[in-house]
Amino acid sequence: MTERMWNNHEMRSSYDVVIIGGGAHGLATAYYLAKNHGITNIAVIEQKFIGYGGSGRNTAILRSNYRTEEGILFYDQSLKLYEDLAQELDYNLMFSQQGHFTLGHSTASMQALTTRAAYNRALGVNSTILDPPEIKKMLPEIDISNHPRYPIMGALYHPPGGIIRHDAVVWSYARGADQRGVHIHQLTEVQDILVENGEVRGVKTNRGTIHCKQVVSCVAGWSSEICKMVGIKLPLVTHPLQALVTTDYKPWLHHVVVSSTLHIYLSQTDRGELVCGNGIDHYPHYGMRSTLGFLESYAAHLLELFPILHNVTVQRQWAGLCDMTPDYSPIISMVDDVDGFYINCGWGTWGFKGSPASGWNTAQMVAERKTPDMIAAFRHDRYVKNRLVGEKAAASVGN
Amino acid sequence: MEIIVPIRQVPDVALNIRVNEGKVVEDGVSFVISSWDETAIEGALQMTEELGGEVTLLGIGPERVSEALRKGLAMGAHKAIHVLYEEGQTDSFGYAKIMAKVMEGRNYDLILTGKQAQDTDAGLTASMLAEFLDLPQVTNIIRFSDLAVDGMTLYRKGDHGTEVIGIKLPAVVTVNDSLNEPRLASMRGIMMAKKKPMETLSPSDLGMGAEELGLQGSMTEVLKFEKPESRKEGERFEGDETETVPMAIQKLVSEAKLAV
C-alpha cells in the first residue's frame, strides 16, 4: 500500500488551534506548535493545495544579510533553522549554501551595502564587500567593464546565503506536522471567522464550522481578505511578482546573484536551469498572469550582467502574490481587540527565507499567548506607533 | 522563400477556463499562441533557414494579439501584421475573409498555419482562405521534403496512413503538431523582437465595411459556451483484497453496467 507523506482526515468539529494557509509559514507554525509546545490538536486549512501560494512560486533564495538589527537577527535564526532542517525533518531539501552576491552599481548603493555589511558583521552574520576584480574571480562570466548602462562598482557578498528546494520544504514540514497529529485540510476555504465578545470562537468553512479558541492567519497575499473578517485593516498592498526558469545548462553559475538596480536576481539549480526573478509588478493586483513585458525587461537587464547568456532559452514563467508592507518587514502579531487571533503576514518578497523563524516564533506566541522577544518589533500596531522596521534598503530588488 | 503564417491567440488551455452566462470569462486569463500555430512558425523558420527569405506573422484581434505576435517574433519570425480587430464574435468564414484581404497585393510563396485553433477546434479557416485565394491546399502535414521555392513534397497524416503529396507553390498548408518541436525564444530573440517591424491595420484599411465584420460577416453564430460536466468523485474500496475486489466488480456491474 502506498505510504502517504501526509494524510487526509475527517474534519473535527473543534480544534485547539486553526491555522489558515497551508504554505511554508502555516505548516512550519503547525510543526513547531506540535514539536516545541506539545500542541497537536491543530487544523491547517488550505483553500487550494499545500504550497499553492508563495511557497511554491518563489525563487527559493535564502539569506540573512538584512539592514536592521531586528531583521538581521530574525533572518539569521531562520537561516540557522534551515541549516539543520533536512536532518531534523529527515528529508533532502537540497540546501546549497553557495554564497549570495548583491551587486552595487552606484556610489549610493555601495554606501548602503557597506552599511549592511557592517551591521551584519556586528551581529555575527558573515557579510563582506568585494571589489569588481574579486567579483570577477568568483563569477568569471559577469561583465565588470564600464560598457553597460550600470557598471558594477562592487558587491555585498554573503557566504551563508544560498538556494533550497522550496517544494521539499513545504512537503517536509507537512509530513513532520502530520506525523505529530496535525490535520491538514486541503481544498477547504475559510468563509468567515467567528468572534464573540472580542474572543475567537471558530471559523466557518465551505466544509462546515470548526470551533476553536485560537486562529492563526498565514495567508500572505490574501491576508487583507482574512483580516477583514475580524475587522482589522492592515497596511498591506498586494502586488504580483513574476519569475521564469530557463532550459537546463551545464553548471556554470555557482552563486546567487542579485542586482537591485537592474531589478533582477538569478541562481542555477542542481538540474541546471536558471531561476530568475524580477521586482514586483507596479500595479496592485490579485491576478497571477505572466506578461511579455516582464520577459522583455528581464532579458534586457540579464544580458547587461551576463552577455554570454544571449542564447539561453526561456522554458516557463509564472507569477505569485506579494503582500507588501510599508517598511518591507513582516507582521507577526497578536491582536489586542480580538483575543485568540494571530496575524502572520506582510511577507512581500522576503517570505520564503523567513519561513522557519516565522513558524518557530508564531508557534511560541500562540502557545504562550505572549509575543516572543525575537518578533516584538513586528507587531501590527507599529505603523500607528511610528516604530517601523525599515528593510527596503535590503530588499533584493528595487521594488 | 516568403512565408506568411497566420496565428491565433487563444486562452491558455493549461489553466482553468471559466464560463459565465454562456461566455468565456477573459478576466485573469493568460493568452498564448495556439499550439498548432507555434508548430507552423517553427516549420516556416526551418524552411527559410534552408532556402532564405522571410517569415511574416499575421494576427487578427484586439490589442493583446500584439503580444502573441511579439512572442512569434522572439522565436525568430522576421515581421508581423496585426489587424486590430475588436468586432467580437467572428467565425472561420469571417476570419478567412479578413486574411484574404490582407493577402491582396502581397508577395508570398506559402501560407503555413496550424490545422485548427486550440480554442474553437473548427479547422476551417485555412481551407476557406485557400478557396478565397484560389490556391491549392494540403492539410494536416507531419513532414515536408524536397523543399524548393516553387514546390515541395508534403506528408499528410490520415486515419489509415500517410499521403505523400507533391504541391506547387503558392499554396495554403496546415500543420499537425507532430511536424516539429517549436523552439523556445532566447533572451536575445526576446530583445530583438521589440525592434522587428509590426504593421498594424484596421479592417477599414483593408476596405472592409461593417457588413463583412463580426456576426454580420460570419455564416455561423456561437449561441453559448458550456463547461463540460465535472466527473463524479470516485469510490475507494479499502481493506482486504478478497473482499474489496468483489465489491468493486459488483459496483461496476450494477452501476457502470459493465458486462462481465
pLDDT tens-place string over residues A39-55: 999 999 999 999 999 99
A335 plus A390 within the same structural domain: yes
Q: Are residues A290 and A224 in the same domain?
A: no
Region class of B33: left (phi > 0), else alpha (psi between -120 and 50), else beta: beta
Judge whether A75 lies within some domain. no
pLDDT in tens, A159-174: 999 999 999 999 999 9
Backbone angles phi, psi at B133, to 5 degrees: -90, -5
A4 touches chain B (CB under 8 A): no
Provide the pLDDT confidence category of residue A99 given band limits of 50, 70 and 90: very high
The chain B residues in contact with chain A (CB within 8 A) are: 28-30, 67, 70-71, 74, 183-188, 190-191, 193-194
Q: How far apart are CA A144 and CA B181, in angstroms?
A: 37
All cell numbers assigned to B24: 468565456
What was the pLDDT predicted at A398? 58
A contacts of B191 (beta carbons < 8 Å): 296, 299-300, 303
Question: Residues B85, B90, B96, CA angle at the centre, nearest 5°?
Answer: 85
Q: Examine residue B129 and state whether it is found in any structural domain, yes or no.
A: yes
CATH of residue A191: 3.50.50.60
| A31 touches A24 (CB < 8 A) | no
Best of A292, A297, A305, A314 to disrupt the B interface by mutation (most B CBs within 10 Å)? A292
Q: In sequence order, what are the beta bridge partners of A103?
A: A155, A259
Residue B222 included in any domain: no
In a shared domain, residues A248 and A357: no
The answer as to whether B225 is a domain residue is no
Q: Which three cell numbers stand for residue B213?
A: 465584420
State how far the Cα of B220 lies from the Cα of B216, in Å rounded to an integer.
10
Q: Show which of A272, A291, A324 is a domain's final residue.
A: A324
* Domain extent for A358: 17-58+167-235+327-394
In a domain, A77, yes or no: no
What is the radius of gyration, based on Cα positions, of chain A?
A: 21
Is-contact B58 B2, C-beta < 8 A? no
- Residues in B touching A247 (Cβ below 8 Å): 184
Q: Do B71 and A292 touch (CB under 8 A)?
A: yes
DSSP notation for A14-55 = B-SEEEE--SHHHHHHHHHHHHHH----EEEE-SSSTT-SGG
B164 CB-contact burial (10 Å; exposed 0-12 / middle 13-18 / buried 19+): exposed
Q: Rounded to an integer, what distance in angstroms lies between the CA atom of residue B251 and that of residue A258? A: 59
Q: Does A317 touch chain B (CB under 8 A)?
A: no
| Nearest of A266, A364, A347, A363 to residue A30 by alpha carbon | A363
pLDDT of residue A287: 80
Q: Which of A289, A305, A324 is the last residue of a domain?
A: A324
Interface residue A299 vs chain B (CB under 8 A): yes
Mean predicted confidence (pLDDT) in A223-233: 92
Give the pLDDT band of residue B260 (cuts 50, 70, 90). low
Comparing A288 with B156, which gets the higher pLDDT? B156
* Domain co-membership, B41 together with B158: yes
Residue A305 lies in a domain: yes
Tell me if chain B has a CB within 8 Å of the CB of A13.
Answer: no
Task: With CB atoms and an 8 Å threshold, state whether B70 touches A292.
Answer: yes
**A172 and A221: one domain?**
yes
A244 and A311 both lie in a single domain: yes
In 3-state terms, what secondary structure has residue A218?
A: coil
Q: Which triple of cell numbers denotes residue B179? A: 511536424
The larger pLDDT score, comparing residue B119 to residue A95, is at: A95
**Short-list B201, B187, B1, B227, CA closest to B107:** B1
B204 and B248 share a domain?
Answer: no
Query: Does residue B39 lie in a domain region?
Result: yes
Do residues A249 and A316 both lie within one domain? Answer: yes
A6 Cα to chain B: minimum distance (Å): 18
- Residue B14: pLDDT band (50, 70, 90) is confident
Question: What are the grid coordinates assigned to A234, written together?
Answer: 492592515
pLDDT of residue A280: 87
- Domain match, A304 and A231 both: no
Q: Write out the residue range of the structural domain in which residue B236 sits.
A: 232-260
Nearest by CB to A295, from B28, B30, B190: name it.
B190
* B176 within domain boundaries: yes
The answer on B254 and B130 residing in a single domain is no
Nearest to A311 among B30, B71, B186 (CB): B186
Q: What is the pLDDT of residues A131-162, one digit of tens each?
A: 999 999 999 999 999 888 899 999 999 999 99
In this prediction, residue A174 carries a pLDDT of 98
Residue A93 within any structural domain of the chain = no
Q: In this structure, are B9 and B114 located in the same domain?
A: yes
Task: Please check the confidence at residue B173 and state whether its pLDDT lies above 70.
Answer: yes
Mean pLDDT across chain B: 93
Q: Which of A241, A243, A256 is nearest to A399 (CA)?
A: A241
Residue A230 lies in a domain: yes
User: Do A245 and A152 fall into the same domain?
Assistant: yes
The closest alpha carbon to B97, from B201, B208, B210, B220, belongs to B208
**Least-confidence region, from A63-72, B163-172, B225-234:** B225-234
B256 and B160 co-located in one domain: no
Same-domain check for residues A143 and A196: no
| Strands laid side by side in the A237-248 sheet | A128-130, A154-158, A100-104, A256-259, A264-268, A273-280, A237-248, A314-324
pLDDT band at A1 (very low <50, low <70, confident <90, very high): low
pLDDT confidence of residue B255: 84
Whether A245 and chain B come into contact, CB under 8 Å, resolves to no
Tens digit of pLDDT for each residue in A344-359?
999 999 999 999 999 9
β-pairing verdict for A256-259 and A100-104 = parallel
Return the pLDDT at A170: 98
Average pLDDT, whole number, for chain A?
94
Which grid coordinates belong to B31?
A: 493568452
Residues of B in contact with A314 (CB under 8 A): 184-187, 190
3-state SS string over chain B? CCEEEEECEEECCCCCCCEECCEECCCCCCEEECHHHHHHHHHHHHHHHHHCCCEEEEEEECCCHHHHHHHHHHHCCCEEEEEECCCCCCCHHHHHHHHHHHHCCCCCCEEEEECCCCCCCCCCHHHHHHHHHCCCEEEEEEEEEEEECCEEEEEEECCCCEEEEEEECCEEEEECHHHCCCCCCEHHHHHHHCCCCEEEECHHHHCCCHHHCCCCCCCCCCCCCCCCCCCCCCCCCCCCHHHHHHHHHHHHHHCCCCCC
Is there a domain that residue A41 lies in?
Answer: yes
pLDDT at B16: 76
Q: Which of B27, B31, B66, B187 to mutate to test the interface with A (most CBs of A within 10 A)?
A: B187
Is there a domain that residue B226 lies in? no
The domain total for chain A is 2
Which distant-in-sequence residues (6+ apart) come within 8 Å of A112 by Cβ? A104, A393
Query: Is B188 close to A303, i.e. CB distance below 8 A?
Result: yes
What is the per-residue pLDDT across B55-71, written as a single tens digit (0 to 9) for each? 999 999 999 999 999 99
**Domain shared by A123 and A246, yes or no:** yes
Cβ contact B187–A311 (<8 Å): yes
Contact B188 A300 (CB under 8 A): no
> Does one domain contain both A172 and A309?
no
Q: In CATH, what number is assigned to the domain containing residue A124?
A: 3.30.9.10
3-state secondary structure of A148: coil
- List CB contacts (< 8 A) between B190 and chain A: 295-296, 299, 314
* Digit-coded pLDDT (tens) for B92-144: 999 999 999 999 999 999 999 999 999 889 999 999 999 999 999 999 999 99
d(CA A56, CA B98): 44
Q: What is the pLDDT of residue B88?
A: 82
Of A69, A89, A79, residue with least CA distance to A357: A79
On whether both B105 and B197 belong to a single domain, the answer is: yes
CA distance B133 to chain A (A): 34
Q: Give the single-character DSSP code of A339.
A: B
Measured in angstroms, the CA of A218 and the nearest CA of chain B are apart by 24
Q: Is residue A63 part of a domain?
A: no
| Alpha-carbon distances, residue A263 vs A132, A281, B40 (angstroms) | 19, 11, 35
Query: Could you give the dihedral angle defined by the CA atoms of residues A59, A62, A64 and A66, in that order, rounded to the nearest 10 degrees?
Result: 0
CB contact, 8 Å: A289 with chain B? yes
The C-alpha atoms of residue A349 and residue A82 are separated, in whole angstroms, by 18
Give a yes or no: residue A373 inside a domain. Answer: yes
> Are B191 and A312 within 8 A, CB to CB?
no
* Shared-domain flag, residues A242 and A275: yes
The CATH number given to whatever domain includes residue B98 is 3.40.50.620
Q: Is A290's Cβ below 8 Å from some Cβ in B?
A: yes
Q: Is residue B217 part of a domain?
A: no
Q: Which residue has the higher pLDDT, A97 or B258?
A: A97
pLDDT digits (tens, 9 = 90+) for A9-40: 999 999 999 999 999 999 999 999 999 999 99
**Whose CA is closest to A78, among A382, A362, A315, A357?**
A357
pLDDT at A397: 66
The Cα–Cα gap between A370 and A379 comes to: 12
Indicate if B197 and B246 belong to the same structural domain. Answer: no
Last residue of a domain, one of A324, A343, A377: A324
**Model confidence pLDDT, tens digit, residues A264-285:** 999 999 999 999 998 888 888 8
Same domain, B253 and B181: no
DSSP state of A147: -
Q: How many domains does chain B have?
A: 2
Higher pLDDT, A287 or A365: A365
Which residues on chain B are in Cβ contact (under 8 Å) with A299? 187-188, 190-191
Q: For residue B226, is pLDDT > 90? A: no
Q: Is B66 a domain residue? A: yes
The partner residue sitting opposite B191, judged by closest CB among A247, A289, A299, is A299
HSE, CB side, 13 Å, CA atoms: give it for residue A310: 7
